[in-house]
Amino acid sequence: MKKLFVILLLVIACSGGDQATRVAVDTLDADGLKKLITERDGRVLLINVWATWCVPCREEFPDLIQTAKVMEDHPVDIVALSADYPTEIKDKVRPFLKNFQVNFPIYVQNFDRQEALINFLDKTWGGALPATFIYDEQGRKHVSLMGKHTSDTFVREIFSALGNSEQKKSFVNFDEMVHRPVTDL
Amino acid sequence: MRKSTLLFVFMVFTAFSIIAGTPDQVNDFTLPAVDGPEQSLSDFTDHKAIVVMFIATQCPISNAYNERMVELYNDYEEKDVAFIGINSNKQEDVAEIKKHAEKHGFQFPVLKDKNNVIADRFGATRTPEVYVLDKEFNVLYHGRIDNSRQESKVKSKDLRAALDEVLAGEPVSNPETKAFGCTIKKVDK
C-alpha cells in the first residue's frame, strides 16, 4: 500500500512538472514573419529578438512578460523570436522558458539565412541581441530598439505606436499603470 | 525658414547615415595591449591586410569562435595578414581579457578599448564583429567570421573568402555580412 502511494505521488509529480514545462514554441520562417508583420488587423506588434545564449536577453525577458501583462486588454501582439536554432528548442529554449509564466507566443527562427532575418527586420541592424521592433496597426515600422530595455520603454513605445487612438486617450495615469505590480493587474 | 528646416533635416540624416553605416576608412588609433605596451593601427601597415576583430571574454558567441580565430591567425599570419583583437566591453577588465587570451592561445595582440571609443569609430555593435583593412585603413570587409556559431553548420566562410580575395588583389565580392552576436556593452555617453 505504501509502495502504491509512493508511485502515485511520483506520477502526480511527473505529470505536474510536465504541464509546467509545456510552453508552445513554433518555428518562424520568412513567409511566417512577413505574414505576422503585415496582417495586423488593427493591432500593434512588438517583436523581441532574443536567444538563450544572450545574457541581456535573459535579463530582459521578465520585462516582456510585464509588458504583456500591462497591455493584455489592448490591441497589441507581443511575440518573442529566438535566434537559437530550431534543433535547440528541446534542450535550450524550453528549459529557459519553463522558469516563466510566459504570456505571449514564442517562436524560433527558421530562416535559411539568418542574415536575411536581420535585414528583414532592420537593414541598419548588425544582429546584436537583444533587439526589439515595434510595428503600428498597419504593419509599418514604428521603432527599432537596440539592446536591453525595460517594460516602461516597451509600453511607452507601444502607446506611441498606437498613436492617437482611443486606447491611448483612455489612460489618464500612464505612469501609475506601468509601475503597478503584475499581481495587481 | 522652410529651406533651413530642410537643410537641418538633411544634415541630421547625413550624420545619422555616417554613424549607422560602416565607415569607408578609419583613422589610426592607439590602444593599450592587455599583455604589453600600447599598439597603433599604423604599427601593422607593413602587412598586406589588417583584420580587426571586436571580441569578448563572456559572450558565448564570441567564445564559440575562439578556436576559429586562432586557426585564422595561423593560416593567414604567414600570408602577411595582421590580426588585432579589441575588447570594448565595459564590464571586462584588462586582467580578465589577458587571462582569456592566454587560455585560448591568442597569438595576436588583444587591445583594451576603454570607453568604447574605437568601437564607436568603427560603428561596431556586437561581438564577434570583424573588419578587414588595407594599408591605408580602407575598410575592405565588415561583418561576420562565418555564417554559423556552430562550426558544423558553417556554409559560408566569409572572412576567409574576403582575405583570399584581398591577397589575390581582387575586390571583395561580399564586403558586408551580418550575424547574430552579443551587444558590445558600452559606457553611457
Q: How far apart are the C-alpha atoms of A5 and B141, rounded to whole Å?
A: 67
Instruction: Give the SS3 label for residue B142.
Output: strand
- Given CB atoms, is B177 within the 8 Å cutoff of chain A? yes
The C-alpha cell 528583414 sits at: A120
For residues B66 and B31, what is the distance between their CA atoms, to the nearest angstrom? 21
What is the least distance, in Å, from the CA of A2 to any CA of chain B? 48
- Partners of A113 on chain B (C-beta within 8 Å) are 147
Q: Are B11 and B51 in contact (CB under 8 A)?
A: no
Q: In this complex, is the C-beta atom of B188 within 8 Å of any C-beta atom belonging to chain A?
A: no
Instruction: Look at residue B26 and tell me whether its pLDDT is greater than 60.
Output: yes
pLDDT at A165: 53
Comparing CA positions, the residue from A124, A128, A119, A168 lying closest to residue A146 is: A128
- Judging by beta carbons within 10 Å of its beta carbon (0-12, 13-18, 19+), is residue B90 exposed, middle or buried? middle
Reply yes or no on whether the pLDDT at A22 is more than 70. no
A174 has pLDDT over 80: no
pLDDT at A23: 76
Q: Which among B21, B153, B178 has the least Cβ separation from residue A127?
A: B178
- Indicate the average pLDDT of chain B: 91
What three-state secondary structure class fits B29? coil
- Quick check: B181 and A126 CB within 8 A? yes
Q: A118 and B58: CB-CB below 8 Å? A: no
For chain B, percent of residues with pLDDT exceeding 70: 89
pLDDT at residue A14 above 70? no
pLDDT of residue A180 exceeding 80, the answer is no
If you count them, how many residues does chain B have? 189
Residue A137 and residue A143 in contact, taking contact as beta carbons nearer than 8 Å: no
Residue A122 vs residue A164, higher pLDDT: A122
Asked if the model's pLDDT at residue B141 lies above 80, the reply is yes
Model confidence pLDDT, tens digit, residues A36-75: 999 999 999 999 999 999 999 999 999 999 999 999 999 9
B22 touching A, CB under 8 A?
A: no
Q: Residue A129 and residue B60: Cβ atoms within 8 Å? A: no
Any residues with CB less than 8 A from the CB of B89 and at least 6 apart, and which?
Answer: B56, B57, B58, B59, B127, B184, B185
- The predicted pLDDT at position B130 comes to 98
Ramachandran class of B88: left when φ > 0, alpha when ψ lies in -120 to 50, beta otherwise: alpha
Q: Is B13 on the interface with A (CB under 8 A)?
A: no
Q: Which three-class secondary structure state does DSSP give residue B187?
A: coil
What amino acid is encoded at B50 in this protein? I
With CA atoms as reference, report the closest residue to A120 among A33, A57, A26, A32: A33
Closest CA to B61 of B121, B151, B133: B151
Q: H helices of B21-154, where?
A: 60-64, 66-77, 94-103, 117-122
C-alpha cell at A143: 521603432
| Total number of residues shown for chain A | 185
How does residue B188 score in pLDDT terms, banded at 50, 70 and 90? confident
Contact B178 A124 (CB under 8 A): no
Give me the amino acid identity at B57.
T
Confidence of residue A163 (pLDDT cuts 50, 70, 90): confident
- pLDDT tops 60 at residue A145: yes
Q: Tell whether the model's pLDDT for residue A173 goes beyond 80.
A: no
C-beta atoms of A115 and B177 within 8 A: yes
To 10 degrees, the CA torsion angle through A61, A65, A71, A76?
60
Residue A143: which region, alpha, beta or left (left: phi > 0; alpha: psi -120 to 50)?
beta
Distance CA A92, CA B154 (A): 20
Phi-psi region of A163 (alpha: psi -120 to 50; beta: other; left: phi over 0): left
The verdict on a CB contact (< 8 Å) between A53 and B60 is yes
Q: Which of B183, B188, B189 to mutate to test the interface with A (most CBs of A within 10 A)?
A: B183
Among B94, B83, B15, B64, CA closest to B181: B64
Q: Number of residue pairs across A and B with CB atoms under 8 Å? A: 55
Mean pLDDT (chain A, rounded) = 84
Mean of pLDDT values over A119-128:
96
pLDDT higher than threshold 80 for residue B106: yes
Q: What is the pLDDT of residues B44-85, one digit of tens each?
A: 999 999 999 999 999 999 999 999 999 999 999 999 999 999
Contact A82, A152 (CB under 8 A): no
